[in-house]
Structure 1
Amino acid sequence: MIIRAMTPNDGDAVIDIYGRAIAGGNATFQENAGSWESWDQGHLDDCRFVACNALGRVIGWAGLSGVSNRCVYRGVAEISVYVDPDAQGQGIGKALLAALIAESEAQDIWSLEAGIFPENTASVALHRSLGFQDVGLRRGLGRMTYGPFAGKWRDVLLMQRRSSVVGVE
């Protein structure tokens, strides 16, 4: 596996992986993956990675989104990490998240946030393994409109990783 910077040429694979994760029902409230253009506009220009297999095929991706336009939050970002469902359980998510953490600190980001459905135990365990801590449970944050949980109000576990090298007193 190779972790490298994401390029626009990876857009179709990124959207495909995202769409397949959405179909499983435990990834996001978002109903569809949308377009590469919408994904691109919704994520920070820095801190975008893909994982590729030995044949060069994209099998996972990671990126950051800003949480607010207010200047006090310029060092806070929300993470997204998605792995091809056919390639899960091989350490790809951990490698992507580790790369994202390192690059976020190089870009002066001091706090990373993740909102995860508590039922997504693999994602929760992954984040905890790399220093994310539970901040709280947002009960009934939203109602699913698609998939196996359609009509169900879902809780979201808010997790945070505070850098030990950026913004330290």
Structure 2
Amino acid sequence: MEIRKATEKDVREITTIYNEGIEDRIATLETEVKTDKYVMEWLFQREKRYLVIVMEENSHIVGWASINPYSHRCAYRGVGELSIYIKREYRGKGLGQNLLLALEKNGQQNEFYKFVLFTFSFNDLGQGLYRKMGYRKVGVFEKQGIRDGEHVDVMIMEKLLG
């Protein structure tokens, strides 16, 4: 498997994987599936330091990950927020670890000193990966959003890089 920077040719598969995450209700509070146009704009209207990478197997994207702005305030320039999405049939096979390692390496090269992420309190698979990779639980936002008509708690995790 190869990890590389996302390009325009990856947009359709990134969109598909993101929409699987929306449909499966395990990684985002987003409820509306996204279009290729939406993902294309998201991909190319970013500062270069906010990397989007893909994991490719046999010319197909099986996962993607991104470093996103934590805040647009300059005091938080060194803090990035992470997103990782894996194609349904590849989840639980350790691919997220490789994507996370690649993001961390790139983050250090681009003046990030800390990564944060938000995960559902019930996302044991994701939390297991993050803990294994040195992330710690900071706290929980109670009733942070609505998921399937119910309030849902969101856990905050962080890791200092370097």
Q: Is TM > 0.5 for Structure 1 vs Structure 2?
A: yes
Aligned position for 1:116 = 119
Larger strand share, 1 or 2 = 2
Q: Equivalent residue of 2:121, what SS?
A: coil
- Say if 1:18 and 1:82, in contact at 8 Å, map to a contact too: yes
Aligned position for 1:147 = none
- Say if 1:43 and 1:63, in contact at 8 Å, map to a contact too: no
Q: 1:91 aligns with which of 91, 94, 99?
A: 94
Q: Which runs of 4+ in 1 moved over 3 A?
A: 41-44
Aligned position for 1:160 = 158
TM-score, normalising length: structure 1: 0.88
- Say if 1:48 and 1:61, in contact at 8 Å, map to a contact too: yes
Q: 1:82 aligns with which of 81, 85, 102?
A: 85
- Whether 1:132 aligns to 2:135 is yes
Alpha-carbon offset, residue 89 of structure 1? 2.1
The 5 A counterparts of 1:16-165 are: 16-34=16-34, 35-40=38-43, 44-46=47-49, 47-53=51-57, 55-144=58-147, 150-163=148-161, 165=162
Alpha-carbon offset, residue 37 of structure 1? 3.0
Between the aligned partners of 1:42 and 1:112, the Cα distance in structure 2 is 21
Alpha-carbon offset, residue 41 of structure 1? 5.7
- Say if 2:8 and 2:40, in contact at 8 Å, map to a contact too: no
Alpha-carbon offset, residue 38 of structure 1? 4.2
Q: Deviations over 1:107-131 (max 9, x none)?
A: 0101111100011111111111111
- Say if 2:43 and 2:52, in contact at 8 Å, map to a contact too: no
TM-score, normalising length: structure 2: 0.91
Counterpart amino acid of 1:48?
A: V
Identity of aligned residues (%): 28
Aligned position for 2:12 = 12
Higher alpha-carbon deviation: 26-35 or 90-99: 26-35
